[in-house]
A = this chain, B = another copy of it.
């Protein structure tokens, strides 16, 4: 409840990050909050290696030394932006939402897929800067890789299985491997997200229509109806 208040006041991703960090390390001062905010934006915009702590400090309206009062190293700053979010927010959120959608739209696969994809897109939008940071930096920092819980993928996979199983049983869809199917959904979604948000962000995108045609492709392929 208190978190929702913070989210309202601040940007989505940053509010969530700060909420998760506070949950791990206790309430933070205003300056620490501003450092986190500034760091997320800087890292997302320019990448970790190309961001100077001096830049983070100026953008946060804080002395450079203050950063190191709260985070012993620049690397720790990066890691502590990402880790709490996975630990406290993302995983529970992702699994829980899936189940909610499934029960709400029981029996209607198209409706379930639509709901999940939309919520996934909303999640990515909300955490946009963090998503960028992750995409750009995971490969270079083992500490970040360690921050992504190993069970994250498995949790998602078993969620997918639970959703698909009844439809396969009833013969309404092909008996696909849920992991393989999941990969396709994720790929299509990521592809769309990148196109919409990174490649051509200035164009007008109709999320509903686009999702509908992705679902159409997934359900029917290119076959004429």
Q: How far is the CA of A172 from the CA of B219 in the complex (A)?
A: 17
Q: Which residues on the B side are within 8 Å of A50 (C-beta)?
A: 49, 140
Q: 5 shortest A-B CB distances, which residue pairs?
A: A187-B191, A49-B49, A221-B221, A220-B221, A49-B50
Is the Cβ of A183 less than 8 Å from the Cβ of B192? yes
Is the Cβ of A191 less than 8 Å from the Cβ of B183? yes
Interface size on A, residues (CB 8 A): 36
B-binding residues in A (CB < 8 A):
46-47, 49-50, 136, 139-140, 171-174, 176, 180-181, 183-184, 186-188, 190-192, 195, 198, 213-214, 216-225
Is the Cβ of A174 less than 8 Å from the Cβ of B225? yes
Q: How far is the CA of A183 from the CA of B195 in the complex (A)?
A: 9
Instruction: Tell me the minimal C-beta distance from A123 to chain B in angstroms.
Output: 18
- Identify A214's interface contact among B46, B171, B184, B216, CB under 8 A: B184
Known: A171-B224, A219-B222, A221-B219. A191 touches B192 (CB 8 A): no
Q: Which residues on the B side are within 8 Å of A49 (C-beta)?
A: 47, 49-50
